[in-house]
Amino acid sequence: MGRTEWAMLGLLALIWGSAFLFIKVAVQDFVPVTYVWFRLVIAAAALAGGLALLGRPLRLPWRVWGAIAILAILNNIVPFMLFGWGQQHIASGLAAILQATTPIFAVLAAHFLTVDEKLVVRRLVGVLVGFAGVAVMIGPQIVGDSGNHLVAQLACLVGSLLYALAGIFARRFQAMGVAPLQLAAGQFVAGAIMLAPVALLFGQPFDSLPTSWQAWGAVAVLALVCSAFAYIVFFRLLERAGATNSMLVTLLVPPIAILVGAAVLGERLSINQFAGLGLIALGLAAIDGRLLSWLRGGRPRRAA
C-alpha cells in the first residue's frame, strides 16, 4: 500500500474506532431499537440521495431486494441493536475488542459455508488463539458474577458472528451485478423499512425522545460518518488495496476505541481484557499470515 492507502486505512480505523464512543453516548438517552432506526433512516437517506445526485438511482430487481433484506438483518438491524444494548452495560473499548472477533468467526464460518475458503493449519491456529483471547476476557465472569456484564459481552459476540455471516452472504451480490455503493445504500433502506414497525411499536414514544444535542449529534455522526461515509471509504480502499490489506482495519479499531473511551469517558479496562485483546490480535495476525511471512524472512503475500 502507498501513502494514500495507508491514509485511507487510518481514517477508516479512526472513524470506526470512534463509533463505539458515539454508540455509548446515543444509548444513554435512546433505547437501542430507536437509536438503530434513526441511524438507518439517516444513513439510507444520505446514501440513496447521493446515488440519485450521481445519476445512479437505487433501482434493483425484486429478487435482489429479497437478498438485501437478509443482509440488512445480518449486517445492520440485529448487530446494531446488540452492540447498542451491550454498550449500556460494558465499556466502549471492550465492545470494540469483542467486535474484533468478526474475522475469526468469518474464517470458521467460511470453512463450513463455502467451497473455496477452507481452514488451513495457520488459520485454524489463529481461530484457536482468538477464541482463547475471548475466554481470557469473559472467563472470570462465567465462573463469578454472571450478571448483565457477561450477557452484554455475549451479545456483542453474537453481533460479531452476524457480521461474519453477513460478509459471507454478501459474496453473492457481485454475481447479481449489484455495485458496492448500491449494496450499501440498499441495505440501509431495507433495514430502515423493516425496522420501522418494530421501532414505532416497541421503541421510544416520540414525546419521550431526547432533546439533548449530544444524543442526536451522536446518532447523526453514526449515520452520516460511521455508516454512510465509512462505507464509501471502505469500498474505495477495497478497490485500491485489496481485501487482505483492508482487513488490517480490524487490528487498528480496538486500540483507537480504547484510547477514545479512556480520554472522553474515563473508561478503564482490566488486565484480563487487555490480555484478551493481545491474544485476539495475535490470532488475527496468524489468520492474515503476513507477520509470519515477515518473521520467516520471506516475501509477504500479495493482497487478495
Cα 204 from chain centre = 25
pLDDT confidence bin for 292, thresholds 50/70/90: low
Nearest to 23 by CA among 39, 9, 41: 39
Q: Spell out the residues 6+ positions from residue 200 whose beta carbon is closer than 8 angstroms to its own.
A: none
Q: Per-residue pLDDT tens for 76-117?
A: 999 999 999 999 999 898 999 999 888 888 888 888 888 777
Q: Is the pLDDT of residue 249 over 90?
A: no
At residue 120, does pLDDT exceed 50?
yes
> Confidence band (pLDDT; 50, 70, 90) for 192?
very high
Q: How many CA atoms lie within 13 A of 78 on its CB side?
A: 18
Maximum pairwise Cα distance, the chain: 63
Share of the chain above pLDDT 90, in %: 40
Calpha distance 79→72 (Å, rounded)? 10
User: Which cell goes with 265?
Assistant: 469517558
CA gap 285, 291 in Å, rounded: 6
Residue 3: HSE in the Cβ half-sphere, 13 Å Cα cutoff: 0
Contacts (Cβ under 8 Å, ≥6 apart) of 4: 240
Confidence of residue 293 (pLDDT cuts 50, 70, 90): low
CA 139 – CA 122 distance, rounded (Å): 25
Q: Say if CB 258 and CB 93 are below 8 A apart.
A: yes
Closest to 217 (Cα-Cα) out of 16, 13, 42, 88: 42
pTM: 0.88
Residue type, 240: R
| pLDDT score of 131 more than 90 | no
Q: Using pLDDT thresholds of 50, 70 and 90, give the confidence band for residue 171.
A: confident
